[in-house]
Each structure stands twice: as C-alpha cells, then as structure tokens.
C-alpha cells in the first residue's frame, strides 16, 4: 500500500486556483506539451523517472540524434522555440547512397529550395525543451517513476527512484507522455476495456559512432543522411555538431545475416567487410563498440481509446509508437501537442470533449504514419537502389513542378507539408497508381506521355479532390491552369 506522502510540488500547486495538469514523462513530447499548457495558463507538473540530464550524464535513451522535419518545426515555432532550436540543427539535403562497390551518390529529399530535414541531438533538444518548460512555469520532478494509476480514485502511485519511497498523488487531469512502455496507457486500457496492439518488428538496431578526424572534421559529407542499403537491411548515419556521425545498423534479429549470427568479434568484422566495406575504416573499434552498445527493439503500438473521460489522455509514443524509418515519431508527437492544445482552446473546461476531439483527429493520422513508416523501411534499405524507383521519383518531381497544387510526392507531403498524415497516405496511394501506369513502358521521364499524365491527374486527383471536403491543400484552379 502506497503511503500518502505528497511531494512538495503538489502542495504548492493546490494553493492556486488554476486547473492543475499532471504529465507523466519529460521526454521530447511531454516537455513540449507542458510548455503549450503552461502558456495557456495551467499549473503543470511533470513526473520523470530519469534523473535530470542537465545535472547527471545519462544516455538520452534510444537514438542519439533524430531527424526533425516540418511538422516538428511547426510545433516548436508555435511556442517560439525555433530561434533557439536552429542553433542545434544540421540540415540534411538528401540521402547519400553508398553502394556495395563503394560508389556514392546523393538522392535529394525534395525538389524545392528548403526541402531538407535536420539532424538534432535528442539530448540537446530535450534539455532545451525542459529549460523552456521551467521558464514557462512548469515544475519537473525527476527520479519520480509512475508505477501505476488508480483512475477511479484519480490517484497516481509514484516511486522516488533515489530513496525508494512510494507515494500516492492525487491528480485533476493526467497526460501520458511516458513513451512506448506507458503506464498511463495500461491504466487507460484497463479502466476502459480498451485494446492495445503491439507489433514487434523482426529487425532490431544497434548504434555505432563514427568519430571526426584528428582535426575534428567530418569523415563523410556533413549535410546528408548516409545510407548503405543492402536489400534486407541497412546501415545509416546522421551527423552530430561535434564532427561525429551516429551510425545505426538495422538488421534482422534472427537468420543467416542477423544480430543472432554476429556472435564474436570476428563475425562482426567479416560481416562489415563483406557488406559495408567502405564504412569499415570509419569506425574506430568496430568490434568493441558493437558488443558494448545494446541492440534495440523496434515496434508499432496501436491502441484505442487514447483517453479516459475528461481525466486522462495519451500523447506521443504512449499513444502511437512507430518504427523510425520515416523519421516521424517525434515529429508526430510534436504535432500531437499542437492538436491537443487546439482542442483545449476550443473546448475550455470541457476536457471530455477536448480529449474526444483530439483522439478523433489524431488516431487516423497516427495509423497512417505507422503504416508509412513501415513501408519506408523497404524504400530505404532496398528501393533506393532500383532504377524504376528512381524514375518514379524523378517523374513525381516533374509532375509536382507542372501541377504543384495537385501532385506532391508522398515523401514531401509527410516531411515538408502539414497535410494530415491520413490525407498524405490517401493521396500517396492514388499518386503511386498514376506513377506505376505512366512508367510501365517508359525508361526516362522524357519518354512519359505527359498528356496522359495530365488526364490521370485531373481524373483521379483534381476531380476527386473537388468533391472532397477532406483535402486542405489542393487548389484545382491553380493546377488546371498549368
């Protein structure tokens, strides 16, 4: 039985008349959400199970760096953080493909100026968000692990990770931003009889560091996301501000070429020399770091409901953990913050309505990005080597140039636009059909029948969009004029 030993923060919070909001998890999404809510005038306290990473050196957890794209930037911009965040970003203009013969070529991400994504350190971004949260009046309690929730009594059981004390805290409103293993999600599922589906990928990942040269310079092109695609798996590398790269090997867990098959240093060395020969000299002690660094698990979590009445709601990975191959998990979580903040604004004190609307808006979009992230693994590890894929990509850009309001490559819709994910998915499917048909007998973009392309776009995108109320970006007039 947990003692009722309330932490100081709760006592001070209850002295004010403001609605108090408890967030579990001061990761990327919980920290940003706390800023949005503090700026709306709520009393916000965040419980985080880890120590304060500003005082204790801890591994930020999975992936040392991440790709930040437009959705995430938009969410940071809306609370005035982008000037500060910009100082930490390294733009990546495309995929630098390393083939097995050691040849390297760049596949740009977008066709327009500014269509780049940005490498950012997870730890630095998290610290920046926690600093901004505290500056906005948020209280963050570190070393406080939420062990469980009693949703009927609106009580939270917290463990003090330093002293081992267990305390019970009341809450008014609770937000679960506690990541893929969310305790808040468990409690919501339990009280509502809801469903939680976890699909673990049969591939895992391992991070390895590529250090700078003796003079501190980058060993690879700094402004690209490097990929060594090998069909069934891949190695990638993203730049860090100190001249290093964080490389990640994505590999099946079991099988002939798998984490299970790399048992000894000699196996690792032989595998890298066989499959990633040009990368081997980039790693210092490849064998040592391979076994020192953990192998991480990847998966997709789909659950419903995301809320319990007007008392509790889930955001970020707690609601929708996805595989990392579209670089959108954090971006999607940041978009949740904008969406939830908007719902709170629209519904005032009617939390039940705000949470219901949030779930209604975000759930289909979370499902769509989960699917697209899985599909993108195949694109990154395999399709990028396929001439047909490259032809379709070049054609997609040509069509975007000709019909900018009607045809936007799916990758661009996800990374550079704010179109809802579900809409990007829907339009992406139609566009994929058009690209398939147009490239059936063409080998180059010049060989594509452009009159047919126009007809297909009008029939399948513009006429459908004109009838649809879901699209928020197509402008049939502008498109048909070109």
Ligand X SMILES: Cc1cc2nc3c(=O)[nH]c(=O)nc-3n(C[C@H](O)[C@H](O)[C@H](O)COP(=O)(O)OP(=O)(O)OC[C@H]3O[C@@H](n4cnc5c(N)ncnc54)[C@H](O)[C@@H]3O)c2cc1C
DSSP 109: S
> What are residue 243's phi and psi, to 5 degrees?
95, -5
Q: Does the footprint of ligand X cover residue 328 (CB under 6 A)?
A: yes
Q: Does the footprint of ligand X cover residue 24 (CB under 6 A)?
A: yes
Question: Closest separation between CB of residue 110 and ligand X, Å?
Answer: 17
**Smaller CB separation from ligand X, 149 or 354:** 149
CA pair distance 361, 277, nearest whole angstrom: 46
Judged by CB under 6 A, which of 36, 47, 233, 272 binds ligand X? 47
Q: Which among 199, 171, 194 has a CA at the least distance from the CA of 306?
A: 194
Tokens of 246: 């964080």
Question: Closest separation between CB of residue 333 and ligand X, Å?
Answer: 5
Judged by CB under 6 A, which of 247, 313, 330, 338 binds ligand X? 330
Half-sphere exposure of 465 (CA within 13 A, CB side): 24
| Range in contact with ligand X (rule: CB under 6 A) among 20-28, 280-288, 387-395, 419-427 | 20-28
| Range in contact with ligand X (rule: CB under 6 A) among 171-179, 227-235, 281-289, 398-406 | 171-179
Question: Closest separation between CB of residue 105 and ligand X, Å?
Answer: 22
Half-sphere exposure of 305 (CA within 13 A, CB side): 20
CA pair distance 270, 280, nearest whole angstrom: 10
Q: Which among 334, 355, 331, 361 has a CA at the least distance from the CA of 422?
A: 361
Question: Closest separation between CB of residue 69 and ligand X, Å?
Answer: 7
Q: Which residue has the tokens 């002295």?
A: 15
**Smaller CB separation from ligand X, 298 or 456:** 298
- What SS3 state is found at 368? helix
x-or-dash pattern for ligand X, window 207-246, by CB under 6 A?
----------------------------------------
x-or-dash pattern for ligand X, window 353-392, by CB under 6 A?
----------------------------------------
**Smaller CB separation from ligand X, 327 or 409:** 327
Residues sharing a CB contact under 8 Å with residue 369, sequence separation 6 or more, in sequence order: 320, 322, 326, 328, 332, 414, 421
| Range in contact with ligand X (rule: CB under 6 A) among 35-43, 330-338, 386-394, 418-426 | 330-338
- Residues numbered 173-212 forming contacts with ligand X, rule: CB under 6 A: 177-179, 181, 183, 205
x-or-dash pattern for ligand X, window 405-434, by CB under 6 A?
------------------------------
| Range in contact with ligand X (rule: CB under 6 A) among 196-204, 323-331, 374-382, 431-439 | 323-331
Tokens of 338: 């904008």
Q: Which long-range contacts (CB under 8 A, 24 or more apart) does 433-438 make?
A: 433/460, 434/399, 434/460, 434/461, 435/392, 435/395, 435/396, 436/392, 438/395
Q: Does the footprint of ligand X cover residue 33 (CB under 6 A)?
A: no
Residues sharing a CB contact under 8 Å with residue 92, sequence separation 6 or more, in sequence order: 67, 109, 116, 117, 118, 119, 223, 224, 225, 238, 239
Interface residue list for ligand X (CB under 6 A): 24-30, 47-50, 62-63, 66-67, 145-146, 177-179, 181, 183, 205, 248, 316-318, 324, 327-331, 333
């Amino acid at each position: 039985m947990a003692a009722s030993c309330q932490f100081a923060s709760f006592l001070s919070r209850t002295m004010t008349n403001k609605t108090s909001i408890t967030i579990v998890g001061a990761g990327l999404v919980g920290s940003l959400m706390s800023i949005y809510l503090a700026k709306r005038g709520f009393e916000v306290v965040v419980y985080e199970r880890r120590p304060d990473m500003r005082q204790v050196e801890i591994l930020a957890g999975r992936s040392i760096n991440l790709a930040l794209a437009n959705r995430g930037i938009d969410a940071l911009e809306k609370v005035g953080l982008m000037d500060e965040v910009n100082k930490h970003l390294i733009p990546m203009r495309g995929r630098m493909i390393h083939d097995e013969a050691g040849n390297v070529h760049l596949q740009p991400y977008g066709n327009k100026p500014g269509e780049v994504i940005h490498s950012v350190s997870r730890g630095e971004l998290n610290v920046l968000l926690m600093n901004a949260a505290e500056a906005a009046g948020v209280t963050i309690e570190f070393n406080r692990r939420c062990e469980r929730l009693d949703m009927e009594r609106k009580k939270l059981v917290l463990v003090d990770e330093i002293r081992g004390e267990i305390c019970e805290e009341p809450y008014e409103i609770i937000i679960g931003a506690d990541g893929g293993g969310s305790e808040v999600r468990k409690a919501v599922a339990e009280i509502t009889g809801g469903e939680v589906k976890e699909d673990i990928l049969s591939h895992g990942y391992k991070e390895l560091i590529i250090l700078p040269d003796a003079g501190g310079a980058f060993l690879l092109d700094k402004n690209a996301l490097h990929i060594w695609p090998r069909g069934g798996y891949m190695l990638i590398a993203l730049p860090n501000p100190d001249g290093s790269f964080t490389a990640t090997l994505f590999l099946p867990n079991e099988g002939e070429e798998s984490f299970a098959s790399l048992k000894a240093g000699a196996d690792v060395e032989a595998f890298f020399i066989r499959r990633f020969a040009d990368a081997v000299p980039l790693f210092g002690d490849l064998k040592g770091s391979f076994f020192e660094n953990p192998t991480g698990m990847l998966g997709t979590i789909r659950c419903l409901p995301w809320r319990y009445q007007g008392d509790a709601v889930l955001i970020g990975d707690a609601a929708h953990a996805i595989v990392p191959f579209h670089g959108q998990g954090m971006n999607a979580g940041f978009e949740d913050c904008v969406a939830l903040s908007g719902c709170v604004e629209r519904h005032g004190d009617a939390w039940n309505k705000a949470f219901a609307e949030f779930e209604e808006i975000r759930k289909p979009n979370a499902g769509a990005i989960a699917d697209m992230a899985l599909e993108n693994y195949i694109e990154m590890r395999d399709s990028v080597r396929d001439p047909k894929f490259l032809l379709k990509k070049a054609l997609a850009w040509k069509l975007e140039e000709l019909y900018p309001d009607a045809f936007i490559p799916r990758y661009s819709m996800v990374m550079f636009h704010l179109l809802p994910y579900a809409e990007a998915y829907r339009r992406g499917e139609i566009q994929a059909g058009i690209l398939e048909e147009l490239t059936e007998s063409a080998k180059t973009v010049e060989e594509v029948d452009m009159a047919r392309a126009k007809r297909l776009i009008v029939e399948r995108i513009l006429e459908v969009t004109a009838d649809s109320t879901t699209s928020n970006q197509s402008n049939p007039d502008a498109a048909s004029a070109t």
